[in-house]
Chain A
Amino acid sequence: MNDFVIENTKSTPYVKFGYEQKKLIVKGESYPENSYSFYEPIYKLIDEYFVSFDELTIDFQLSYINTSSIKCLIILFDKLNANYQNGKNIIINWHYDEDNGFDYDMGQDFKMDIDIPFNFISISAEE
């Protein structure tokens, strides 16, 4: 199965669904005019993925997410949470920049509502 890749634009993040590495990467900024049309294909991929796979690591690094994208991410997290509760092995890595402050808070908000292991990783610590 080929990897699914969406290159980033000014208002949409880079998305890569790596089937071999069992990894989903979402990186950049997210504030498209129509968030649903951007995230809908990803929902579909996740549903299909968990039919045949049991394991997924998701790396988020989002320096900005607008309100409608937040709503879309909430739906995404609900989906993942449902799979996690069904016994799928899911890990979320939330990369943030200490200089930002926005992304860490955002992660905290998301973490509150789900049961999936949620790791905060500082970008400056990575470097």
Chain B
Amino acid sequence: MMQIRSAAVEYPADPGAGAGTTSPCAAPGTASGDLRSPPGKRWRDADGEHIDVRGLAPPGPLVAIVRLIESVADATPVIVHHDRDPVLLYPELAERGWVAETIAGEAGEVRLKLQKG
């Protein structure tokens, strides 16, 4: 069985929090490989936890999204703002009992709603 190390979630300061809109991505993934400050801008909104992983190179988006869903204790949905269909993500979601649906997003954006199945 796979073992996932539990991880504390850190929310970077987000001037757009609560606005319900997407924001440009934060700095790309840490080149040093340090995961203590996971890449991807995150904020909470009425429809769930948001994460913007646009501009991150693989597997940055995968790691950031998995880290976030690992930290969600209740049934809060996770809204992903991406610039491409995250094909590498779906097997990891399936292993954790999460499902993904596309929802309307900005032009050029792929927006997914992730929920515990």
Do A and B pair up? The answer is no
List residues of A whose CB falls within 8 A of some B CB.
none
